[in-house]
């Protein structure tokens, strides 16, 4: 019988009886005085590879290792191989059939026959790594938060460039006092057109502040991380950014779903944009659209990340071992249609901002990252459909759909018209 040749880091091994174990991780939820169990599949376990290496002094067989070398090999396996940072190093195993695998030796067993200078070492190797590493991380909204800071800094730079292109470069670099009108701080030496532009700055910022007079001001960590200056671009963009944040904060208290929040926010942003007037209105609206779209995408990522976590709540047992309800499940995660509708609104608004300013790589990146994350979310989301139910208790409806009774509260939240879950009749929205 011909031996396989494999390597474990720099060790060349002669092996036989190699086996690969691929199994699922199944959680069994068992209850007192109840036969059977509810099973929950939480994914595949790491691949486990078991093989037997041979160590003997029969060179005629073409072996590459000797019996004496197995002592050094055992000592090497028994030591924790650590890198410069003190972490245990991952081993590289070249499988004779599947190629290179990265992981750890979980355990090994040695069988000796010293009378013939022969031994075998059985090794259990576990592969390292997630199979879905391409999936977006759970902190996607934090990444978009950093992108939003870059977008604001880029917008400040772009605004200065735009002002120079419009012929208002003489106002760039001037230190201004935000408490005093800009027209009172600009020298008479500037052109008539420039004075007209500065006058429009005061008028439009007054209009924006008037639009937001009923919304309380709030602190914002993103605002504190941006490189604001004391000249005209920052004097324009910082109030706009504060206005956008105040709009979103006010809507968070009245919007009961992420979808309604996004739609309400876009409506408010468009209303705010309509307050801007003057011959340079397009310049002001361009900056507002860029700031509004970036901030909206960051908020959307935060809402979707939170909504994704609700799926864990929906599938968590809300009953103790005696069958008594201990944790009511009142949240409902967004269905696939809601997510698609939300992304449609976001894409339309972000595209309108990009039409005004094509030189906006940060906004394009934010939209692409959010879109990738949403595509990942939709893989685990159910669609919602309507069915007609004729005088049926909620738990029987769930049973007939092959779904868990734990979704009862989510169904009641989705069908708020149901007053008595023991007698459900009419059109009911269900997951399907």
Alpha carbons 271 and 24: distance in angstroms, whole number = 53
Tokens 């939709």, located at residue:
378
Q: What is the pLDDT of residue 284?
A: 92
Two tokens at 413?
């939240």
Distance (Å, whole) CA 296 – CA 350: 9
Distance CA 11, CA 28 (A): 41
> Residue 328: what pLDDT?
46
Q: Where are the alpha helices (DSSP H) in 138-257?
A: 140-165, 192-211, 221-225, 232-252
140 in Cβ contact with 305 (< 8 Å)? yes
Which strand (E) or helix (H) includes residue 361? helix 361-378
Bridge partners (DSSP) of residue 108 are 123
Tokens 């967004």 belong to residue: 334
Residue that has been written with the tokens 């701080």 in this structure = 185
d(CA 205, CA 241): 12
Provide the token pair at 310.
């609700």
Q: What are phi and psi of 56, to 5 degrees?
A: -155, 170
Question: Is 2.60.15.10 the CATH classification of the domain at 4-127?
Answer: no
Q: In b/e form, how buried is each residue of 59-84, taking b as 16+ CB within 10 angstroms?
A: eeeebebebeebeebeeebeeeeeee
Residues 6+ apart with CB under 8 A from 258: 300, 303, 304, 307, 334, 338, 342
3-state class (DSSP) for residue 229: coil
List the domain boundaries for the chain.
4-127, 140-378, 384-431
Cα separation, 104 vs 42, in Å, equals 22
157-163 long-range contacts, CB within 8 A, separation 24+: 158/290, 158/357, 158/359, 158/360, 159/233, 159/236, 159/237, 159/287, 160/231, 160/233, 162/283, 162/286, 163/232, 163/233, 163/283
**Mean pLDDT, 10 residues at a time, the chain of 432 residues:** 80 83 82 79 83 74 70 81 73 82 88 77 86 51 78 88 85 76 71 85 85 60 73 86 85 76 90 90 92 90 75 51 51 72 90 87 87 70 76 82 73 82 86 70
Q: Among 183, 182, 193, 286, which residue's Cα sits nearest to residue 230? A: 182
| Residue 169, pLDDT score | 81
- End-to-end CA distance of the chain: give it in Å, rounded: 55
* pLDDT value of residue 288: 92
Q: At what angle do helices 140-165 and 361-378 cross, to 10 degrees?
A: 150
The Cα 207–Cα 276 span in angstroms is 7
Token pair listed for 127 = 């592969």
């Amino acid at each position: 019988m011909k031996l396989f040749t494999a390597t474990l880091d720099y060790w060349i091994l002669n092996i036989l009886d190699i086996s690969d174990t691929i199994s699922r991780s199944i959680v069994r939820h068992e209850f007192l005085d109840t036969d059977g169990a509810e099973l929950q599949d939480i994914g595949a376990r790491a691949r486990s590879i078991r093989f037997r290496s041979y160590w003997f002094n029969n060179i005629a067989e073409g072996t590459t290792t000797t019996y004496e070398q197995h002592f050094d090999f055992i000592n090497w396996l028994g030591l924790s191989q650590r890198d410069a940072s003190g972490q245990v190093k991952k081993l590289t195993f070249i499988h004779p059939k599947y190629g290179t695998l990265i992981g750890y030796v979980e355990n090994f067993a040695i069988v000796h026959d010293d009378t013939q200078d022969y031994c075998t070492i059985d090794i259990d190797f576990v592969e390292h790594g997630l199979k879905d590493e391409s999936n977006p991380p759970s902190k996607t909204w934090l990444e978009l938060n950093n992108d939003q800071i870059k977008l604001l800094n880029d917008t400040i730079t772009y605004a200065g460039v735009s002002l120079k292109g419009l012929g208002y470069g003489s106002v760039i670099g001037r230190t201004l006092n935000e408490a005093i009108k800009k027209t009172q701080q600009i020298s008479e030496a500037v052109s008539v057109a420039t004075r007209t532009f500065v006058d429009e700055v005061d008028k439009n910022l007054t209009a924006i502040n008037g639009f937001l007079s009923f919304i309380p001001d709030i602190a914002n960590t993103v605002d504190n991380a941006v490189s604001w200056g004391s000249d005209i671009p920052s004097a324009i963009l910082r109030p706009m950014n504060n206005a956008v944040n105040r709009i979103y904060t006010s809507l968070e208290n009245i919007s009961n779903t992420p979808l309604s929040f996004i739609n309400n926010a876009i409506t408010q942003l468009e209303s705010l944009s309509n307050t801007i007037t003057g011959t340079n209105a397009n310049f002001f609206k361009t900056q507002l659209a860029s700031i509004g779209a970036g901030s909206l995408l960051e908020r959307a990522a935060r809402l979707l990340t939170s909504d994704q976590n609700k799926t864990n709540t929906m599938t968590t047992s809300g009953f103790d071992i005696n069958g008594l309800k201990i944790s009511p499940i009142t949240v409902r995660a967004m269905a696939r249609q809601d997510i698609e509708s939300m992304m449609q609104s976001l894409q339309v608004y972000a595209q309108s901002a990009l039409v005004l300013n094509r030189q906006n790589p940060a906004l394009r990146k934010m939209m692409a990252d959010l879109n990738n994350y949403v595509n990942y979310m939709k893989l685990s989301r159910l669609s919602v459909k309507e069915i007609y139910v004729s005088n049926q208790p909620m738990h029987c409806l769930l049973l007939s759909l092959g779904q868990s009774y734990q979704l009862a509260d989510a169904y009641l939240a989705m069908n708020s018209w149901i007053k008595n879950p023991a007698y459900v009749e009419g059109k009911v929205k269900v997951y399907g």
